[in-house]
Structure 1
Amino acid sequence: MKRWLALSCIAVALPAHAQQSDATDGLGSVAAENPFGRDRNTSVLERNHPEYTPQPARIGALEVLPRIAIGAGYDDNIYAQPSGREIGDAYVRIRPRVSVTRPSETLRLNLSGELDLLRYADRTTENATQYNLGASANYTISRDNRLNLSLAHGRFLQERVSPDSPEQVIRPVRFTVTEGTAAYTRSFNRLRLQGIGSIERRDYRDEVNTLGDVVDQDFRDRTTYTGTGIGEYALNPSVALFIAGSYNVRDYRTRLGPVPARSSTGWELAAGSSFELGRKMRGSLRAGYLQQDYDDPFFQDVSGFLIRGELAYFLSSLVTITGAVDRSVSETGIIGATAYLKTTTSLRADYELLRSLILSAGAELEKRDFSGIERDDDRWTLRTSATYSVNHRLQLRADVQRRTQSSSGLNAGRNFADNRISVGVTFLGL
């Protein structure tokens, strides 16, 4: 089991839905696992240290790995308000998780469940109880044929810094996500073909504002169907070229009132390469075009240049620098807006100061170009963290994060800065 697996035990299963990051989160990395065997270098977070790898309990044919992360911190702007209106508060966060795995070379099964409890000292309306349940099956039909299935269901809260979070609601918007994915992979010597199908259902709950009025959120309920096909050909063990295409249907509930449903269909088409350049770089990059067409003429279609990729640079055996970029069409809960074109770029460095101590620092810029209204957002996220492994059952963590948002245009949103500091401890295994 690789080092990054040990660290990922303290990450939520679906971090995109969770509240802001803190010391109970895990770390990510460009994975070395590749069908063409590109593993000449090992990143800081992948390096295997057996003395710090959590050991699951074995019950018959099953492996059971529990963990619980406990953290405390302070957020100086919990409502993401402009300068001069900030309200801060201390909080405690408890995140127990358990995974049950049936290991097998042909059929690997996994069940997992996580509870995320966030409690504030004074601002109790911001308290959150989130959970996520997941199941997966990895079936190796033969050496050249694989089938992966996964199901997940969870309840989450919309963080206040999100552009879709209504300012006037007393508590953050709650929603559930249910999703399923099936992926089939077929290899023919140097050629690899993959087909992926997924369904995601989102259901948002109405909230109440400070005047006691109901703030409707049902207009955001939707089911998304996505099909993706990828064809990849290895020129040699270090470089492969691929083409990828996807088609989606975003089906909103029938809408009554002045604003119609945002139902749409969209597609992406891109070409790129996955590669390993000597012993210094490993990554994947694609470029192409994307488009989202809306059924109702009230909404403006969204299209543009697509770029997506991740690159790991191995500065030394102890330092890994990872860069990533992603451009996609995101749905929004802002009345009058169609959607927004989101471009995210990030850069992170991981330094193994000691075998037991990893220091990380990163920066991310998310640019949102809204369609249907005059608004552009730039959001920066700066983060540093330190993870210390005492042994294979105990990890300590410290985390500092700063988020800022600059919004411009006739329909501009909030400009704010939010700082969060936290410490945490994670207990792994039995």
Structure 2
Amino acid sequence: MKRAITFALLGSCGFAVPALAQQSDATDGLGSVSSENSYGRDRNIGVLERRRPDYTPEPIQLGVLELMPRMAIGAGYDDNLYAQENDRIGDAYLRLRPRVSLVRPSPTLKLSLDGELDLLRYADRASENATQYSVNAGALYTISKSDTLNLTLRNGRYSQERVSPDSPTQASRPVRFTLSGGTATYTHVFNRLRVRGVVDVENRNYSDSVTPLGDPIDQDFRDHTTYTGTAVGEYALSPSIALFVAGSLNKRDYRERIGPVPARDSKGFELAGGASFELGRKARGALRLGYFQQDYRPVEFEDVSGLLVRGELAYFLTPLVTITGTVDRGIKETGVNGATGYLATNMTLRADYELLRNLIISAGGELEKRDFNNIDRRDDRWTWRGSASYLVSKRLALRLDVQRRTQSSWGATAGREFTDNRVSVGLTFSGL
């Protein structure tokens, strides 16, 4: 059985674990515009990263350990559960997300362990119910003032959403998959120079689904393991700007497969350069430009290459309003039959407004453009979100979330076109 190797290119600030795209929901966290690894560029603080001691949950002290329990409870309604253009079916749902985090703080060796259970239950469509979980462990070892080693392990079970381009339209239930892996990050800082190396391993295993008549829908061709290795060098010209270069090689091996469609093995590379910067007290961000290329082993699969673009800019309009924009262009794997992957271009814009010290209102939009490789298909998906988070106390927070998604598709093998609206409310209990 073969394993897959992928070397993903780091951004100017660090390694990002592959995201699991999900619908927005009132049980989600607030998120943040992080100033981590910004060479002390903290003259201004984003709305979502601002410290609020009066509303920050306090952990339970267990000797040298800190225990942080959390329970998020939400209810909502989805008006197009199966992401169909016609014959839309809606349903109400209840969501429970208990989470426990355990941390052993230490200036030299910080240890952490957290687990979350995500129970999603629909009122009428039991086939869409999902039981998801994730378990994560980490160790941050401060070797010296200049050297740190960060180790993380992760394991989880997830349910793929109907709005995903990889979700089979004829499936009677969502596709389930497991994800496990680990990451090791070594960072060395010497005066103005920072060098970082990352090694990552990730395994994905997809379960088959079935049609309404009970016929199996094969998903084994998507199973693969990914190994990632990346190097980044960043040099601070001044406290306000740092230049960086990053490079990676990759090899993706899917498991051996018997059938008409061969495994989508490939090799490739990414090279990029850019800068992270702070523009006075008004903006903080990072931008990198480069080139990527992915060569597929089976001769019937087309190779792909192009311009790599990734960046983020946080603009502090006022101390109470933060506007954040991102752009990301690169290759993503897919479960669509016949396609080896797709070139994805994501652009987002979000505004966060601290109406009151304990009331945060957010609104934003996202455009994701997909150009599938090896088949004639192009997708455009717009996502609009609005939310309000009210921090009642250190233990209790309330949230309202509204989301609208639309998708258009073109080509000889065009995908689904749909509009989906979701509204939800939730509350979260945290800490003591």
> Could you say which TM-score interval applies, normalised by the shorter chain?
over 0.9
Q: 1:147-186 CA distances to partner (integer Å, 9 max, x unpaired)?
A: 0010000000110001110011110000000111000000
Task: Look up the SS of the partner of 2:48 in the other structure.
Answer: coil
Please provide the CA RMSD for this pair: 1.2
Does the alignment pair 1:225 with 2:227? yes
Partner of 1:3: none
Over 3 Å off, 4+ runs: 13-16
Q: Aligned partners of 2:376 and 2:38: how far apart in 1?
A: 45
Partner of 2:94: 92
- Deviation, structure 1 residue 42: 0.6
Alpha-carbon contact 1:224-1:250 (below 8 Å) kept: yes
Partner of 1:376: 378
Partner of 2:45: 42
The residue type equivalent to 2:54 in the other structure is E
Does the alignment pair 1:272 with 2:274? yes
Q: 1:229-282 CA distances to partner (integer Å, 9 max, x unpaired)?
A: 000000001100000112222110011111000011221110000001100000
- Deviation, structure 1 residue 341: 0.5
Partner of 2:261: 259
Q: Aligned partners of 2:255 and 2:321: how far apart in 1?
A: 49
Q: Aligned partners of 2:112 and 2:253: how far apart in 1?
A: 30
Pick the aligned partner of 1:174 from 154, 173, 176: 176
Task: Look up the SS of the partner of 1:219 in the other structure.
Answer: helix
Partner of 1:330: 332
Change (3 A) 1:275 1:19: closer
**Please, what TM-score do these two structures have when normalized by structure 2?**
0.95
Q: Aligned partners of 2:225 and 2:18: how far apart in 1?
A: 20
Q: 1:128-156 CA distances to partner (integer Å, 9 max, x unpaired)?
A: 00000000111110110010010000000
Alpha-carbon contact 1:30-1:311 (below 8 Å) kept: no
Change (3 A) 1:18 1:272: closer
Partner of 1:56: 59
RCO comparison, higher one (Cα < 8 Å, 6+): 2
The residue type equivalent to 1:266 in the other structure is G
The residue type equivalent to 2:105 in the other structure is P
**Please, what TM-score do these two structures have when normalized by structure 1?**
0.95
Q: Aligned partners of 1:96 and 1:321: how far apart in 2?
A: 31
Task: Look up the SS of the partner of 1:45 in the other structure.
Answer: helix
The residue type equivalent to 1:217 in the other structure is Q
Q: 1:324-380 CA distances to partner (integer Å, 9 max, x unpaired)?
A: 011111111111111100110000000000001000001000000001110000001
Q: 1:198-219 CA distances to partner (integer Å, 9 max, x unpaired)?
A: 0110000011111211110000
- Deviation, structure 1 residue 19: 4.0
Pick the aligned partner of 1:28 from 18, 28, 31: 31
Q: Aligned partners of 1:33 and 1:16: how far apart in 2?
A: 19
Q: Aligned partners of 1:66 and 1:101: how far apart in 2?
A: 12
- Deviation, structure 1 residue 293: 1.1
Q: Aligned partners of 1:14 and 1:384: how far apart in 2?
A: 25
The residue type equivalent to 1:295 in the other structure is R
Alpha-carbon contact 1:44-1:319 (below 8 Å) kept: yes
The residue type equivalent to 1:72 in the other structure is A
Q: Aligned partners of 2:146 and 2:38: how far apart in 1?
A: 10
Pick the aligned partner of 2:83 from 55, 80, 84: 80
The residue type equivalent to 1:56 in the other structure is P
Partner of 2:10: none
Partner of 2:359: 357
Q: 1:395-425 CA distances to partner (integer Å, 9 max, x unpaired)?
A: 0000000001000011000110000000000
- Deviation, structure 1 residue 41: 0.4
- Deviation, structure 1 residue 18: 6.1
Partner of 1:289: 291
The residue type equivalent to 1:36 in the other structure is Y
- Deviation, structure 1 residue 100: 0.1
Partner of 2:311: 309
Change (3 A) 1:428 1:38: same
Alpha-carbon contact 1:170-1:207 (below 8 Å) kept: yes
Alpha-carbon contact 1:260-1:298 (below 8 Å) kept: no
- Deviation, structure 1 residue 15: 9.3
The residue type equivalent to 2:196 in the other structure is Q
- Deviation, structure 1 residue 105: 0.8
The residue type equivalent to 1:80 in the other structure is A
* Structure 1, unaligned runs of 5 or more: 1-12
Partner of 2:405: 403
The residue type equivalent to 1:404 in the other structure is T
Partner of 1:10: none
Alpha-carbon contact 1:270-1:287 (below 8 Å) kept: yes
Alpha-carbon contact 1:30-1:283 (below 8 Å) kept: no
Pick the aligned partner of 1:126 from 128, 150, 165: 128
Partner of 1:145: 147
Task: Look up the SS of the partner of 1:16 in the other structure.
Answer: coil
- Deviation, structure 1 residue 46: 1.2
Q: Aligned partners of 1:367 and 1:145: how far apart in 2?
A: 40
Partner of 1:9: none
Pick the aligned partner of 2:249 from 233, 236, 247: 247
Task: Look up the SS of the partner of 2:54 in the other structure.
Answer: helix
Identity of aligned residues (%): 68
- Deviation, structure 1 residue 28: 2.4
Partner of 2:430: 428
- Deviation, structure 1 residue 17: 2.8
Q: Aligned partners of 1:168 and 1:317: how far apart in 2?
A: 49
Pick the aligned partner of 1:68 from 60, 65, 71: 71
Q: Aligned partners of 1:189 and 1:251: how far apart in 2?
A: 40
Q: Aligned partners of 1:278 and 1:122: how far apart in 2?
A: 54
Q: Aligned partners of 1:30 and 1:73: how far apart in 2?
A: 27
* Structure 2, unaligned runs of 5 or more: 1-15
Task: Look up the SS of the partner of 1:125 in the other structure.
Answer: helix
Change (3 A) 1:99 1:14: farther
The residue type equivalent to 1:304 in the other structure is G
Task: Look up the SS of the partner of 2:49 in the other structure.
Answer: coil
Does the alignment pair 1:344 with 2:356? no
The residue type equivalent to 1:85 in the other structure is D
Change (3 A) 1:324 1:71: same
Aligned residues: 417
